[in-house]
Amino acid sequence: MSIRRYAVFGHPVVHSLSPRIHGAFARQTGIALDYAAIDATPEDFPAALEAFTASGGAGANVTLPLKEAAFALCARTSERARRAGAVNTLTRSDGQWHGDNTDGAGLVRDLMDRQGLDLRVNRALLLGAGGAARGVAPALLDAGMDELWIVNRNPQRADALVDALGEPGRAISRYWEDLGRLGDFDLVINATSAGREGAAAFALPFTLTNDRTAAVDLNYGEAAIPFLAWARAAGCRRTVDGLGMLVEQAAESFHGWHGMRPETDPVYAALRERDATLVTGD
């Protein structure tokens, strides 16, 4: 039986749970595969992907900070990747890389099906406008929320994401210094990597929340702790980290590569049980 090669690219990537998740999916479905983690900076990524291709790479996941770079390297992209302007899933076909983005589908499936959140909210706030935010913003709008406010430290990136979404009046850009003047939100989503910098990165105003607010971090593990700690201090009703999204977007990628959709609940539960730092604050 031939073993096909897959990988996750990112920087840093040593912490990634993707090899463990795809290994569990492979055992569950009886598919033989080799799945590695490959660290590559944005500057090194094209050469690293080329080397992976030469070694027989059949598909790859892409994480921060390479999702927009991956989009640029694809010969073809799916509609949801084009809407996002970012790629998190690469598939080798006909001698070319085809790009997809499963982040939004993974997030919505986790929040609605596993966490029981209703995304048809009045006002949602998305912190960040990079590859992670671009991946989830279209799916959040499609889930039925009335307004998605996008705030980023770089104003141009926030404006560019809103323009790309093409939803005037529903997708609204503001800037970091505006946070204290925006009022409260039913849903606050952190799509930045600021949690790696510690708690000081999330000295956000408590006026962003109310007693119904759900707070979601797309990060998991230690990187999610600062934002979720702020959310609990601000009185948010629910706090959710990104582990469920990670598992669900991986399942979407796995299905695209192998034509089989794995059971995600057992994998999610095993990851929660194995590592206490992955437990949410609920």
Catalytic residue among 22, 67, 109, 258: 67
Cβ neighbours of residue 213 under 8 Å, at least 6 residues apart? 184, 185, 186, 187, 188, 231, 234, 235, 236, 237, 238
Residue type, 147: E
CB-facing half-sphere around the CA of 270: CA atoms within 13 A: 12
Q: Are 61 and 250 in contact (CB under 8 A)?
A: yes
Rounded Cα distance between 69 and 231, Å, is 32
141 is catalytic: no
> Helices 131-142 and 155-165 sit at what angle, rounded to 10 degrees?
40
Cβ neighbours of residue 16 under 8 Å, at least 6 residues apart? 8, 10, 37, 63
What are the residue numbers of the active site?
Answer: 67
